[in-house]
Amino acid sequence: MLRHATASLLALATALPALPAMADELNLFSARHYDTDLQLYDLFTEATGIRVNLIEGSGDELQARIEAEGANSPADILLTVDAGRLHRAEVAGLFQPVDSDILTARIPAELRHPDNLWFGLSSRARVIFHNADAGPPEGLSRMEDLADPRFEGEICMRSSSNIYSVSLLAELIEVLGADAAEDWARGIGRNLARAPQGGDTDQIRAVAAGECAVGISNTYYWGRLKASSNPADVAVADATAFLFPNQDDRGTHTNISGAGVLVNAPNRDNAIAFLEFLVSDTAQQILADGNNEYPVVAGVQIEGPMAAFTDFRSSGVNASVFGLNAAEAVMIWDRAGVP
């Protein structure tokens, strides 16, 4: 089964377009697909004269291509979403450490790899949604509370195999211990309003429609609905609200979009310059607002729907934990019987 999956990914990867050869260039392999990111690349080129050659695909496609090309890969940077995906590339030996005073100073330690193999560039919180008019259910303030029997039949979530679900449980393993995290996962399974299905936006829609009392989602999906030109999307956003879990103890689970310089990067210096550019105030604002995320650099102001929701406490758990505990998290979800 694994061989078949790998073959499929390699087939997809080799179908990606070829890159041109230039002297002052940067070859960026990106799993982020936002028009505002293109604005960033143009600004970087204007500032440095370095052209950004963009190759887009899913994180799996891009990693498969980089691995297949090996030492001949033209890729300088892999940019993807979720620390769990960055960990997969790290385990495959794709990243090299970067010693940059700028990156170290501007990115909090918990949002970058302990050995500087990758760096968080924007962040998102995983929160609990509820009906805006009804308010949060009584007694709900922590992610752990969702396993309480009083919420039986009231929770909507996406598949446990999704990287966001895996990373959330990976953090709980770290802060609660494996046994308590498994008890939590079993409680979630008992309390589901329906079988896990759809993406994060579908959980928010389900709360708005009354299919469940609470749903688990990343903040930026609500931001997209609120900023949509479709009145129906805005109505869903207005019908829902969210709370940041665990504000009275460790803080909310926070994940990242991030990037690393690849071990065979032909334009290493350009790649480092690009990462340093992405943590400038201007780039941080564009990165965050482009996907309704949060900047990783303190003090940067955002302008989109999430600007009103920046005052919350993050857990401070190093994002590398999400990958390190991922395999155990998958096994726990499976044992708990949560699809």
Which pair of structure tokens corresponds to residue 49?
A: 């004269």
Alpha-carbon distance 108 to 297, whole Å?
A: 8
CA 243 to chain centre: 19
Tokens of 24: 């002052």
Pairing assessment for the beta strands 77-81 and 51-56 based on DSSP bridges: unpaired
List, in sequence order, the alpha helices (H) in 99-214: 101-106, 163-176, 178-191, 200-208
d(C-alpha 242, C-alpha 136), whole Å? 8
Structure tokens at 174: 């770290």
Residue whose token pair is 């759809």: 198
**Separation of alpha carbons 99 and 280, rounded Å:** 17
Closest CA to 199 of 251, 253, 252, 159: 159
Instruction: Enumerate the H helices of 74-162 as residue ranges.
Output: 83-91, 101-106
Say whether 87 counts as a known binding-site residue: no
33 in a known ligand binding site:
yes
4 annotated as ligand-binding = no
End-to-end CA distance of the chain: give it in Å, rounded.
19
- The structure tokens 């940077």 sit at 77
Cα–Cα distance, 154 to 241 (Å, whole number): 16
Q: What share of the chain is helix, strand, coil (3-state, %, to 5)?
A: 50, 15, 35
d(CA 35, CA 57): 15
Asked if residue 111 lies in contact with residue 203, where contact means CB atoms within 8 angstroms, the answer is no
Going by the annotation, the residues of the binding site for Fe cation are 33, 220-221
Going by the annotation, the residues of the binding site are 33, 220-221
